[in-house]
Structures are given as structure tokens and as C-alpha cells.
């Protein structure tokens, strides 16, 4: 893919490859490792603005940044109360982050029914108010949304223009409607239409699992960069490929996984790490020899030390 630096409200990126905010996955250690591989901007899991407002310890756990993490740091917040979103954006909790991303694309039913996430694509005046209030933080603001809330309402071009007019410095478009969730074809035409309506950088998201996928997504949409989501869960080394670095060999990949285990345990403790790394390793071995036999044993591994021993015998 075509590598280039982007200007986000005066912030210069090292490249145009982004790690998506992934609930349950993009913790501080994972973001750091993906950034070292070549992700130029990394986002936290989505963070509840109300959770911050009500001083939720669990919510604040999502805001950690690992020491030495390179690149630009983004925090994604969600909510539909403009005042609450402004308070979160202006809080000391978000002070360490370079970019505040507003989630206007989450399709999950409980989020949508609450008027958050992709539901905001049904209410452009409210979405505009939220963006303008978050922009009062003085930080760079990005907005992530979809091509539309339904196949009968593909409104991403108008939504993109609204985002820019309301103060957004960058937008990311997931090339599927809310009804499609995370599967099905990516609507290149809709993303291209939105790109043609704005002057701020546009990041395209959806279906990036290989360098060919990323190149095709950029060529078909005219986007300024790509965001990798599920592709990073199965293959975090994709960032090395996309950024033109040498692809890690099997030994380097194994060392990556062992390091992820060690650093996650050091930051989050054994209980969290064991559960988290079992599911991550399960993703990493998909398609590998004997993965079907290994996975049931892996998912029952009770300690980090036993998991560490299993990883040393695995091929990645």
C-alpha cells in the first residue's frame, strides 16, 4: 500500500496505518506491540463517557498507556450526551492522549438502543453537537462511523461533511452498514463518496487482512489511510507487512507472543492475562497445523506459566 504521513490538526503521523479500537482486545500492551510493528496511530477500547463521569474504576483501567509506546495515542469515547462527552474529553483522564475519537459506528444492539454508537447516524444535529463539544477539549478529534445505519439509509457522505463542519480533524469510515455488523462486502463506493465531500483525512476500515486488502481498499476509495480491526486480532504482524518492514519469521512471532504474555501479566496480573492470552493465542494459531487439537487444551490452561510452556511448543 502507499505509505504516507498524515497531518491531524497539526499532529504528524509516522504513517497511515491505524489500529482500530477493539472492545476486549486493544489494551495497553497490545497497542504498544502493534505500534512497534508499524501501526502509526493506535486506539483504546471504546470508553464510556458516563463511566468516566461517574468515576468508574473499570472504565479507567482502559486508559492505560504502556511505557515506551510509539506513535500517536488515541482514546475512543462513546455516549450521546454532549455535555457528558465534553466533560470526558476535557478530563485529566484523557490528558495523556493525542487524539480523541468519537464512536458513532458501534452496531451492538445494547449500544444502539441506548442512542449511542451508530444510532447517532440517525440524528445529525445531535452528532454535530457532540463533535463540537468534544472539540472544546482543544485536542485533535476523530470520528468513526459506518456507511449508514441501514441499507435503506446510506448517509455517510452527508455525515462526513457534517463531521468536518462540526470540527472533526479526521474521520474513519467502516465500509458496512450497521445491519451488516462485521461481515459481508465493504462498500467502496460509499466510502469514496464520503471522501469526495471533505478535505480532512479519511481512513477506510473493513476487511483488511492482507497487504493486498489494504491496497485495494485505498485504491477503490481514495482514502488517505487504512484501519486494521479483526485482521490485527488474527495477525498483529500485519502492521510490519503494511509498513514495509521485513515480515517476522516463526521464531520472531513466537517471541512476540511470549513478550505479550509477559508484559500483559506484569501490567494486569495473572488472572486477567490468562483469560485474555488464551483467546489471543487461539486467534493467532487459526489455520496452523493441529490448531483444532490444540485449541480445546489451550482454552482450559489454568495458569500463565502453563500457557507460556504451551506457547514455546507452538508454531505461529
Give the whole-angstrom CA distance, residue 186 versus residue 207.
7
Give the whole-angstrom CA distance, residue 129 versus residue 124.
9
Give the whole-angstrom CA distance, residue 102 versus residue 125.
15
Confidence (pLDDT) at 55: 81
pLDDT at position 239 over 90: yes
pLDDT at position 29 over 90: yes
Closest of 234, 204, 199 to residue 2, by C-alpha: 204
Question: In the annotation, is 118 catalytic?
Answer: no
- Work out the mean pLDDT of the chain and round it to a whole number: 96
**98-129 per-position pLDDT tens digit:** 999 999 999 999 999 999 999 999 999 999 99
Q: In this structure, how many other beta carbons lie within 10 angstroms of the beta carbon of residue 36?
A: 17
pLDDT at position 54 over 90: no
Under the banding of pLDDT at 50, 70 and 90, the label for residue 300 is: very high
Under the banding of pLDDT at 50, 70 and 90, the label for residue 10 is: very high
**Integer CA distances (angstroms), 191 to 19, 145, 206, in order:** 18, 11, 11
Confidence (pLDDT) at 220: 97
Q: Torsions phi, psi of 57, nearest 5?
A: -65, -40
Are 149 and 109 a contacting pair, CB within 8 Å?
A: no
pLDDT at position 204 over 90: yes
Residue of 34, 75, 84, 106 marked catalytic: 106
pLDDT, average across residues 231-254: 95
Relative orientation angle of helices 188-195 and 156-166, to the nearest 10 degrees: 30
Rg (CA), the chain: 19
* Sign of the torsion angle spanned by Cα atoms 69, 230, 173, 121: negative
Give the three-class secondary structure for 192: helix
Give the whole-angstrom CA distance, residue 150 versus residue 164.
22
pLDDT, average across residues 143-160: 97
pLDDT at position 53 over 90: no
pLDDT at position 227 over 90: yes
Give the whole-angstrom CA distance, residue 52 versus residue 247.
39
Q: What letter does residue 153 receive in the DSSP assignment?
A: B
pLDDT at position 57 over 90: no
> What does pTM read for this prediction?
0.96
Under the banding of pLDDT at 50, 70 and 90, the label for residue 289 is: confident
Are 236 and 19 a contacting pair, CB within 8 Å?
A: no
Q: What letter does residue 236 receive in the DSSP assignment?
A: T
Are 228 and 39 a contacting pair, CB within 8 Å?
A: yes
pLDDT at position 17 over 90: yes
Q: How far is CA 301 from the centre of its chain?
A: 28
**Alpha-helical regions (H) of the chain:** 28-37, 49-53, 57-60, 82-90, 109-113, 124-135, 156-166, 188-195, 211-221, 230-234, 238-242, 250-268, 270-284, 291-298, 304-312
Are 31 and 70 a contacting pair, CB within 8 Å?
A: no
Closest of 181, 189, 224, 185 to residue 204, by C-alpha: 224
Are 298 and 279 a contacting pair, CB within 8 Å?
A: no
Amino acid at each position: 500500500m502507499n505509505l504516507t504521513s498524515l497531518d491531524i490538526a497539526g499532529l504528524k503521523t509516522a504513517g497511515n496505518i491505524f489500529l482500530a479500537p477493539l472492545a476486549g482486545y486493544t489494551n495497553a500492551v497490545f497497542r504498544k506491540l502493534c505500534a512497534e510493528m508499524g501501526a502509526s496511530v493506535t486506539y483504546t477500547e471504546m470508553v464510556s463517557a458516563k463511566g468516566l463521569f461517574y468515576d468508574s474504576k473499570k472504565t479507567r483501567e482502559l486508559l492505560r498507556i504502556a511505557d515506551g509506546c510509539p506513535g500517536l495515542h488515541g482514546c475512543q469515547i462513546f455516549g450521546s450526551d454532549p455535555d457528558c462527552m465534553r466533560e470526558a474529553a476535557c478530563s485529566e483522564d484523557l490528558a495523556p492522549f493525542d487524539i480523541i475519537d468519537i464512536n458513532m459506528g458501534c452496531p451492538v444492539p445494547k449500544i444502539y438502543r441506548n442512542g449511542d454508537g451508530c444510532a447517532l447516524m440517525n440524528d445529525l444535529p445531535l452528532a454535530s453537537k457532540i463533535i463540537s463539544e468534544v472539540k472544546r477539549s482543544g485536542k485533535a478529534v476523530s470520528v468513526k462511523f459506518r456507511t449508514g445505519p441501514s441499507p435503506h439509509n446510506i448517509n455517510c457522505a452527508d455525515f462526513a461533511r457534517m463531521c468536518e463542519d462540526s470540527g472533526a480533524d479526521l474521520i474513519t469510515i467502516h465500509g458496512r452498514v450497521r445491519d451488516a455488523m462485521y461481515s459481508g462486502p465493504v462498500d467502496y463506493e460509499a466510502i469514496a463518496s464520503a471522501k469526495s465531500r471533505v478535505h480532512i483525512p479519511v481512513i477506510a476500515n473493513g476487511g483488511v487482512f492482507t497487504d493486498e486488502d489494504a491496497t485495494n481498499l485505498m485504491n477503490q476509495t481514495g482514502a488517505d489511510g487504512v484501519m486494521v480491526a479483526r485482521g490485527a486480532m488474527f495477525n498483529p504482524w500485519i502492521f510490519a507487512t503494511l509498513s514495509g518492514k521485513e515480515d517476522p519469521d516463526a521464531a520472531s512471532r513466537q517471541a512476540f507472543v511470549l513478550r505479550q504474555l509477559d508484559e500483559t501479566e506484569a501490567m494486569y496480573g495473572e488472572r486477567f492475562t490468562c483469560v485474555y492470552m488464551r483467546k489471543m493465542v487461539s486467534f493467532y494459531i487459526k489455520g496452523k497445523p493441529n490448531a483444532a487439537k490444540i485449541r480445546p487444551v489451550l482454552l482450559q490452561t489454568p495458569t500463565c506459566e502453563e500457557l507460556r510452556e504451551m506457547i514455546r511448543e507452538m508454531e505461529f
